[in-house]
């Protein structure tokens, strides 16, 4: 039997393993309009990690946070709101029936 050494060169990092510099690079590149896959390959992490880092930054800012504790309960949740936006973009002249 011959002993084989397995080298793990291309191991992708998890979101928790990324440094602040790498997270800053992800945020800057995505905010500029770069693709998720390109950034994941550049930083050597998964696409899911890139998406999570960017979404935490995007929705973590004060101006984007909603005040969820006052007023009546929301009629639709975040998923419903995204779906409604897609419907409106598809047909802007549609009326509510």
pLDDT of 36 above 50: yes
Domain count, the chain: 1
Does 84 fall in a domain?
no
Does 89 fall in a domain?
no
* Residue 30 vs residue 1, higher pLDDT: 30
pLDDT for 42-96, tens place per residue?
888 888 888 888 888 887 755 545 555 667 777 888 899 999 999 989 988 888 7
The pTM (predicted TM-score) of the whole model is 0.48
Q: Mean pLDDT across the stretch 14-35? A: 83
Does 2 fall in a domain?
no
Does 33 fall in a domain?
yes
Q: Cα torsion for 79, 14, 35, 89, to the nearest 10°?
A: 0
Does 29 fall in a domain?
yes
Range of the domain at 47: 19-67
CB distance 50 to 43 below 8 Å: yes
Does 54 fall in a domain?
yes
pLDDT, residue 72, reads 77
CB distance 39 to 48 below 8 Å: no
Among residues 27, 86, 19, the alpha carbon closest in space to that of 51 is found at 27
Q: Band of the pLDDT at 11, cuts 50, 70, 90?
A: low
pLDDT, residue 44, reads 86
Does 85 fall in a domain?
no
């Amino acid at each position: 039997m011959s002993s084989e050494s397995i080298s793990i060169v291309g191991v992708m990092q998890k979101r928790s393993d990324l440094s602040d510099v790498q997270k800053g690079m992800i945020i800057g590149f995505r905010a500029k309009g770069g693709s998720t896959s390109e950034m994941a390959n550049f930083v050597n992490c998964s696409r899911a990690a890139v998406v999570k880092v960017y979404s935490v930054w995007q929705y973590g800012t004060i101006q984007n946070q909603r005040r969820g504790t006052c007023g009546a309960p929301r009629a639709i949740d975040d998923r419903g709101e995204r779906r409604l936006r897609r419907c409106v973009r598809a047909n802007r002249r549609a009326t509510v029936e």
